[in-house]
Amino acid sequence: MRSPHADPFDLTASYADMDGARKAIDALEFHGIDPSRIRLLGAAADAARRADERPNMARRDLRLAWRLIWRAVLWSLIGAAAGAVAGVGFWLAGFVVINPWFTVLMWALFGHLTGGMWGAYAALSIGDAWEMTFERVDGMPVVVAVRVDGADAAAHAERILRASAPQGVALTPAHGASAS
């Protein structure tokens, strides 16, 4: 949210490849930076935008699909274990449906389904910049740009970007009101 008293800043961080940029974007979004305020710049981003116009997106989509499947399977297993523990808790508390094992099994199934759906949903990010990082653009560095409001937010975003091992980070006062 933009504060009326905070001056906007633009941060840029350069990365050797799209994988490094994706990790930085993931970290920024995880720490509360709105995806609409994150952009990709540079030759790699331009190549990814041109590739985005191709009719066949199978190569990029396959990498994204594997990420979704991996996260869904991982979290469905975690959810099944948590559901089974909840089922045992209900069993020990005396809340049994049909028989004790059925109660544990049903709660494990509930946890499995809930965990899998949550894992797949959490694997997606809604920002255009994040989606473009799945395009394979070899040999071209990419720049992640972030627009933040205020010096505190700029310092916070800069710490996040520096922790993601960029080739370099720059902070400049922004010109204009929107990063979109």
* pLDDT in the model for residue 179: 42
Average pLDDT over residues 24-31: 86
Picking from 97, 125, 94, the residue whose alpha carbon sits closest to that of residue 110 is: 97
**Structural domains of the chain, with CATH:** 8-51+135-173 (3.30.70.120), 59-123 (no CATH)
The answer to whether residue 5 scores a pLDDT higher than 60 is no
Residue 69 CB contacts under 8 Å (≥ 6 apart), including other chains: 120
Q: How far is CA 173 from CA 25, 112, 156, in A?
A: 21, 47, 15
pLDDT digits (tens, 9 = 90+) for 99-133: 888 889 999 999 999 999 988 887 776 666 666 77
Q: Confirm if 134 and 63 have CB atoms less than 8 A apart.
A: yes
Predicted confidence at residue 128, as pLDDT, reads 65
Q: Is the pLDDT of residue 14 over 80?
A: yes
pLDDT in tens, 44-103: 777 776 665 666 656 666 777 787 888 899 999 999 999 999 999 988 888 877 888 888
